[in-house]
Copies of this chain bind each other. A is one copy, B any other.
Amino acid sequence: MTSAQVGQRVAGFIAACRRQGVKATRQRMEILRELAATGEHPDAETVFSRVRRRLPSISLDTVYRTLHMLQEKGVIARVPSMQDRARFDANMDRHHHFVCTVCGRISDFYSAALDSFAPPPAVRALGAVDSVHIELRGRCRKCRSELKKNK
């Protein structure tokens, strides 16, 4: 995401706050800006340490509270994870993830084929499907080359 796009995203959120009678605080802006600027799907602690560079007095609790609020409002998403910490994603376009089982890195990818996937009939018995998410697991480029080096 370009810096201009991030700016737009934040501006849009400010407008949404006004509309919903929610305060557009500096903390909220910076947290969203930080998340929108990266494709890394960071955890709360990572967002905290980065936002802190611009808002040195921000608290970790505010980061957690804000990330949850943004998720509730549908502005960002929480990514399911095998690890024991929550990870977040500002990319709300329909997309999927490649997860490196070595370093934990999560990368986005898109698939027209999956976007038009129709759930099998057996699924209808389970419930109403709202969305489809693919997780590909493997070893990322970086981890593969490091693996090669060490052998």
A99 to B131 alpha-carbon distance, docked (Å): 10
Q: How far is the CA of A137 from the CA of B131 in the complex (A)?
A: 5
- Whether A135 touches B133, Cβ cut-off 8 Å, given contacts A120-B109, A127-B143, is yes
Ordered by A's residue number, 26 sampled pairs between the chains whose C-beta atoms are within 8 Å are: A78-B82, A79-B82, A80-B80, A80-B82, A81-B81, A98-B123, A98-B127, A100-B127, A107-B126, A111-B119, A113-B117, A114-B117, A117-B134, A119-B136, A123-B136, A126-B140, A127-B138, A127-B140, A127-B144, A128-B144, A129-B136, A130-B138, A131-B136, A131-B137, A133-B137, A135-B135
- Contact call A120/B113, Cβ cutoff below 8 A: yes
A126 near B98 with CB under 8 A, answer yes
Chain B residues near A78 (CB, 8 Å)?
82
Find out whether the CB atom of B125 lies under 8 angstroms from the CB atom of A141.
yes
Partner of A139, one of B123, B127, B133, B136: B127
Most chain B CB within a 10 A radius of its CB, from A119, A131, A139: A119
What CA separation (Å) do A78 and B127 show in the bound complex?
23
CA distance A100 to B128 in the complex (A): 9
Q: Does A132 contact B (CB under 8 A)?
A: yes
The yes or no answer to A61 lying at the interface (CB within 8 A) is: no
Query: In the complex, what residues of B have CB within 8 A of residue A136's CB?
Result: 119, 123, 129, 131-133
The smallest beta-carbon distance between A142 and chain B, in angstroms, is: 8
A122 CA / B128 CA spacing, docked (Å) = 30
